[in-house]
Chain A
Amino acid sequence: MHELSIATNIVAVAQEEAAARGVEVEAVYLRLGALAGVVVDSLLFGYEVASQGTPLEGSRLLIEEVPLTIYCPNCQAEFELAGIQSLRCPKCQELSSDIRRGKELEIVALELKEQP
């Protein structure tokens, strides 16, 4: 289960960003591509485990799932794909290896704790 490793990285990176700004974190916003190879439930569980004993303990991980999107040179347009098992254009059925979105594994925002 590599989600625990990835969760550990999320906690470390978020903590680093927070510490650099001198803030405390309520929630971490993550963008997760369909092709990132990460199982959401496992990642959420991993986050809970990985954040224990760190300043992020008790914070939430909010995941925005990004569907796989390709650019079809034939149709000259981007298409969101329903699954991840084929890079075929849903309109003209051509294969395209021009992946525009769907590999994301990035922290995009931090929600800060209210100052008392």
Chain B
Amino acid sequence: MTKSPRILEVRANVLKDNDVLARSLRERFAQTGSLVLNLVSSPGSGKTTLLRQTLLELSPRYRVAALVGDLATDNDARRLAESGAPVRQIETKTLCHLEARMIEEHLQDWDLRQIDLLFIENVGNLVCPSSWDLGEDLRVALFSTTEGEDKPLKYPTLINTADIALITKIDLAEAVEFDREAMYRNLREMRPGIEILEVSGKRGTGMAAWLERLERALQTKRSQR
């Protein structure tokens, strides 16, 4: 006679430790009024160029800082540090995404009261970062015109967690015959109502609208304090 297996019902979110940590980070950011952005993209999307430009243009008026997730090299962090903003690299080694505990560790000796906007540049990867909440206010997914307009269809999980889609390298749109309508349609199929902005970090196109969007988010956050 075989006994039936003993099944014990439990209910546990697999990522609960990360989520608890993310929540406590979010509370800290709320207390200090720091606006936190999680930038997610594939490698080569122009993220570092855009972020460098963003830091440069915001720094005369705001206190900005960046955490840069990278597998091993600190090339991106060094390029960003040229902007004069405090930049710290998070070396993830084999990990393809950032987790809340890494953010917490790397912010330990930072005085968040001295930071208005904190940019987290996630590891170049459109799959893995989507599951991990970092306590951010806004998750920004970057797609470049050169990657093609069907890219969002390949990464529905990420699109679905993003607040803003930033179409980068817009200066190359014509040269690569970028189909704007198809791109917007594909983004909205998976995230109806997603906010879409077009920018070129290199030429400055659309930067004013992007910066204005960030300032608006910062003001909203401060008014809620």
Residues of A that sit less than 8 Å from B by CB: 1-2, 5-6, 9-10, 12-14, 16-17, 21, 23, 26-27, 29-30, 35-38, 84-88, 95-97, 99, 105-112, 114
CB of B70 within 8 A of chain A? no
Contact B8 A10 (CB under 8 A): no
Complex Cα distance, B12 from A109, in Å, reads 9
Q: Mark B1-28, 1 if CB is under 8 A from A, else 0.
A: 0010111111111111110000000000
Decide: A17 near B189, CB < 8 A? Known: A6-B131, A37-B131, A114-B3: no
Complex Cα distance, B15 from A108, in Å, reads 13
The binding surface of chain B is classed by DSSP as mixed
Contact B97 A5 (CB under 8 A): yes
CB of B96 within 8 A of chain A? yes
With A29-B7, A97-B191 given, name 11 new contacts (CB 8 A). A6-B131, A13-B14, A21-B8, A26-B5, A30-B14, A85-B190, A95-B192, A97-B192, A105-B131, A108-B10, A112-B8
Q: Mark B143-162, 1 if CB is under 8 A from A, else 0.
A: 00000000001001110100
Provide 23 A-B residue pairs closer than 8 Å at the C-beta atoms, listed in order of the A residue: A1-B128, A2-B132, A5-B99, A6-B15, A6-B131, A9-B14, A9-B17, A9-B18, A13-B12, A16-B12, A21-B8, A36-B131, A36-B157, A37-B158, A85-B156, A85-B190, A95-B188, A95-B189, A97-B193, A106-B12, A107-B14, A111-B8, A112-B8
Cβ–Cβ < 8 Å partners of B156 in chain A = 35, 84-85
CB of B112 within 8 A of chain A? no
B217 to chain A, nearest CB (A): 20
B122 to chain A, nearest CB (A): 12
How many B residues, CB 8 Å from partner? 35
List which B1-59 residues lie within 8 A (CB) of chain A: 3, 5-18
B40 to chain A, nearest CB (A): 12
Contact A110 B15 (CB under 8 A): no
Closest to A108 in B: B11
B102 to chain A, nearest CB (A): 11
Contact B131 A17 (CB under 8 A): no
CB of B95 within 8 A of chain A? yes
Complex Cα distance, B15 from A12, in Å, reads 10
Complex Cα distance, B130 from A84, in Å, reads 15
List which B57-99 residues lie within 8 A (CB) of chain A: 95-97, 99
Complex Cα distance, B222 from A48, in Å, reads 47
Cβ–Cβ < 8 Å partners of B218 in chain A = none
Cβ–Cβ < 8 Å partners of A37 in chain B = 127-128, 130-131, 157-158
